[in-house]
Amino acid sequence: MTRPPDKPIGIRPAGQSDKDIPIYRFEVMKKTLLSLILAALTAGNAAAAPQQAAPAKNQAASAPAAAKEAKPADRPASAPASKTAPEPANQTASAAGAEARPSGALSPAAVPQIAATAFIVKDLQSNQVLAANNPDNLIEPASLTKMMTAYLTFKALEDGTLKADEMLTVSDAGWHTEGSRMFLNPHVPVSVSDLLKGMIVQSGNDAAITLAEAIGGIGNDSEQTETPKPPLENFVAMMNMEAKRLGMNHTRFNNPTGLASERHLSTVSDLALLAAALIRDYPKYYPIFSLKSFRYNGIEQPNRNLLLFRDSSVDGLKTGHTESAGYNLAASSNRNGRRIITIVVGAESTEARASESGKLLNWALQAFDTPKLYDAGEVISQVKVYKGSANAVKIGFADDTYITIPHGSGHRIRPVLETEQPVLAPIEKGSILGKLKIMNGKDVLAEKNVVALTSVEEDNWFGRTWDSIVLWFKSVFG
């Protein structure tokens, strides 16, 4: 795309409105409203391919049968609300950023009605939530739990704790576990590679437990002064520690399989973070989620994610089901250079979770554009620095920066840079110095942190003293 001519952009100190202080102008800005419009128009030229129509009832035999993934379990007293379809008023569309979910987002084509307890749809390039219903309500993740078990297994493979060709044997507990199975033989070792496929494609609880016991048992040696935790208990502790690190603040895991438990709960917002982490952190192993079937022990089982058979852009992630949780699906689509994920929970059937997820994916891809605003390290402006060896510091973004906006709405959007004032040295490279807000009138559509692109050391004693005097006069006389 041809770069637009340099244009000014609104800049104001954080916390002050347009009425409180004039909007300063900096000619050094590289991309502004014009670039946003041009990028949005360019992105809009790539028409989103519609999802292939779901097969008619008399053609259902061509799609894989959806086997049950976990044995029905009694609903715990603290389990989430019933699977009644949400009221339309509860469904909200938003092009909000990850740091906040402003209510004033532009309204693109109406959010499709989704028959599920909760859902979320997110653009991973911009990290913006496009629509959500009950995103922070506690729900039973069922076998979506296995995304975390897979995440920790990938981590173990990367750090050398496990080897892909390492042979493991299912324990008695794993062999007798309820729910969906890979059909492991307690007398026949199986490779970690096959266990991953059995867990992800076949949703095998026996495979999940075997991997969890292997990873959780590492480090439990006789040299420890305290009695070591059982491997499964240790693995669950690792799951919760990793969830906390990823920002899954409402999640509590109690097992590696997703079998119903009153203390085993999450949210669609948290599960979206986990799905994004799998795609971002382990691209080497992510293709396992796209396998349409896997054969082990003479038994071939299809992937229960029906979207893999209906939409060529869908390449993962995971399904889940228990009687108390309903039918869950975490799905991801990579189409026209955009990566969209959806989490749908509490649907009424395997068909419903697939069709409702498909609605959200197509809506997100067709109703929004995600143009690139700035390259990583690109200078967008500079900020005055006090008490520093330099009088100003260049600011920009640490990573390539994208923005998701409703299709065709670029002409109504205004970017405004808010900076922290005053900025005092020393400043480390990468320090957050403000935010770029994407505005529609007075409504904030998204916020992106801007950072220092260089470091600034403290000035000498005379320079610091002089700037202290300058700041004092500014505070007194405005």
**The pairing of beta strand 372-374 with beta strand 401-402:** antiparallel
Closest to 201 in 3D by CA, of 274, 146, 260: 146
Annotation says 17 is catalytic = no
* Helix H or strand E encompassing 381: strand 381-386
pLDDT at 397 over 50: yes
CA 456 to chain centre: 34
Work out the widest C-alpha separation in the chain, in whole angstroms. Answer: 85
Going across the sheet that includes 414-419, the strands are 10-13, 414-419, 432-440, 443-452, 392-396, 381-386, 423-424
pLDDT at 405 over 70: yes
Confidence (pLDDT) at 262? 84
Q: Which tokens belong to 180?
A: 């969906």
Annotation says 431 is catalytic = no
pLDDT at 229 over 60: yes
pLDDT at 329 over 70: yes
d(CA 338, CA 368): 10
222 band by pLDDT with thresholds 50, 70 and 90: very low
Contact status, residue 181 vs residue 308, Cβ threshold 8 Å = no
Confidence (pLDDT) at 161? 92
Looking at the chain, the whole-number percentage of residues with pLDDT higher than 70 is: 75
What is the per-residue pLDDT across 23-37, written as a single tens digit (0 to 9) for each?
333 333 444 455 555
Q: How confident is the prediction for the chain on average, in pLDDT?
A: 80
Q: Which of 35, 94, 126, 143 is catalytic?
A: 143
d(CA 195, CA 290): 16
Please count the other Cβ atoms lying within 10 Å of the Cβ belonging to residue 298: 6
Most confident residue range from 16-30, 136-150, 435-449: 136-150
Annotation says 203 is catalytic = yes
pLDDT at 254 over 90: yes
Burial 131-153 (b: 16+ CB within 10 A, else e): bbbbbebbbbbbbbbbbbbbbbb
Cis peptide leading into 426, omega within 30 of 0?
A: yes
Confidence (pLDDT) at 77? 33
Question: Which 3 state secondary structure label does DSSP give 312?
Answer: coil
Contact status, residue 452 vs residue 428, Cβ threshold 8 Å = yes
pLDDT at 87 over 80: no
3-state DSSP: the chain helix, strand, coil percent, rounded to 5? 30, 25, 45
pLDDT at 195 over 60: yes
More confident residue, 63 or 333: 333
d(CA 195, CA 167): 10
Question: Which 3 state secondary structure label does DSSP give 320?
Answer: strand
226 band by pLDDT with thresholds 50, 70 and 90: low
Contact status, residue 303 vs residue 293, Cβ threshold 8 Å = yes
What is the per-residue pLDDT across 57-82, written as a single tens digit (0 to 9) for each?
333 333 333 333 443 333 333 333 33
What is the per-residue pLDDT across 93-118, written as a single tens digit (0 to 9) for each?
444 333 333 333 444 568 899 999 99
Going across the sheet that includes 314-322, the strands are 92-96, 128-133, 118-123, 338-347, 326-335, 314-322
333 band by pLDDT with thresholds 50, 70 and 90: very high
d(CA 85, CA 23): 47
What is the per-residue pLDDT across 338-351, written as a single tens digit (0 to 9) for each?
999 999 999 999 99
More confident residue, 189 or 1: 189
341 beta partners: 122, 332
What is the per-residue pLDDT across 270-318, written as a single tens digit (0 to 9) for each?
999 999 999 999 999 999 999 999 999 899 999 999 999 999 999 989 9
Confidence (pLDDT) at 64? 38
pLDDT at 419 over 70: yes
Closest to 369 in 3D by CA, of 335, 330, 417: 335
What is the average pLDDT across 459-472? 90
Confidence (pLDDT) at 443? 80
Helix axes 231-245 and 146-158, enclosed angle (nearest 10) = 90
On the 0-12 / 13-18 / 19+ scale of CB atoms within 10 A, 345 is buried
Confidence (pLDDT) at 204? 94
Q: Which of 203, 269, 324, 332 is catalytic?
A: 203
pTM: 0.77
Confidence (pLDDT) at 217? 87
Q: Which of 30, 122, 146, 448 is catalytic?
A: 146
d(CA 133, CA 112): 12
